[in-house]
Amino acid sequence: MYACIDLGSNSFHLLIARWHEGSYDIVERFSEKVQLGEGLAESGVISERAFARGMACLDTFRQALARYPIERCWAVGTNALRTAGNADLFLHKASEKGFLIDVVPGLQEAALVYAGVISALPDDETPRLVIDIGGGSTELVVGSGQRCLQSHSMAIGCISWRDIWFRDPPRTEPALSQAMDNAVTAAAEVFSGIAGKLAETPWREVYASSGTAKMLSSVCAQSGPGKRQATGVKLETLQSLKPAIMRSVLEPGFSLPGLKNGRRELILPGWAVLNGFMTACQVTDLNFSPSALREGMLHYLAQASATGESPLHALQAH
Q: 244: pLDDT confidence band, cut at 50, 70 and 90?
A: very high
Residue range 4-8: mean pLDDT, rounded = 97
In this predicted structure, the answer to whether residue 229 has a pLDDT above a threshold of 80 is: no
pTM of the model as a whole? 0.94
Q: How far apart are CA 268 and CA 278, in angstroms?
A: 16
Q: Which one has a higher pLDDT value, 23 or 210?
A: 210
Nearest residue to 273 via CA among 129, 134, 173: 134
Q: According to the model, what pLDDT value does residue 5 have?
A: 98
Query: Can you say whether residue 10 is alpha, beta or left, with left for phi > 0 and alpha for psi between -120 and 50 degrees?
Result: alpha
What per-residue confidence (pLDDT) applies to 225?
A: 56
Which pLDDT belongs to residue 317? 80
Structural domains in the chain plus CATH codes: 2-107+293-317 (3.30.420.40), 122-289 (3.30.420.150)
DSSP state of 123: S
Cβ atoms 121, 197 nearer than 8 A: no
Question: In the beta sheet, which residues pair with residue 15?
Answer: 4, 29
pLDDT tens column, 276-285? 999 999 999 9
Q: What is the pLDDT of residue 275?
A: 98
Residue 1 or 306, more confident: 1
Residue 307: what pLDDT?
86
Mean pLDDT in residue range 29-43: 94
For 169, counting Cβ atoms within 10 Å of its Cβ (0-12 exposed, 13-18 middle, 19+ buried), the class is: middle
Query: Looking at residue 145, what is its pLDDT?
Result: 94
Distance CA 169, CA 4 (A): 36
Q: What is the pLDDT of residue 136?
A: 94
- Inform me whether the pLDDT recorded for 175 exceeds 90: yes
pLDDT at residue number 38 = 95
DSSP assignment of 47-86 equals -HHHHHHHHHHHHHHHHHHTTS--SEEEEEE-HHHHH-TT
Residue of 31, 203, 28, 208 lying closest to 117 (CA atoms): 208
Average pLDDT of the chain? 94
What pLDDT, on the 0 to 100 scale, is given for residue 223?
Answer: 83
Helices in the chain by DSSP H: which ranges? Answer: 40-43, 48-65, 79-83, 87-96, 106-118, 158-165, 173-199, 211-221, 235-240, 242-250, 267-280, 293-307, 311-317
Q: Is the pLDDT of residue 137 over 90?
A: yes
For the stretch 76-94, pLDDT in tens is 999 999 999 999 999 999 9
Query: CB of 302 within 8 A of CB of 220?
Result: no
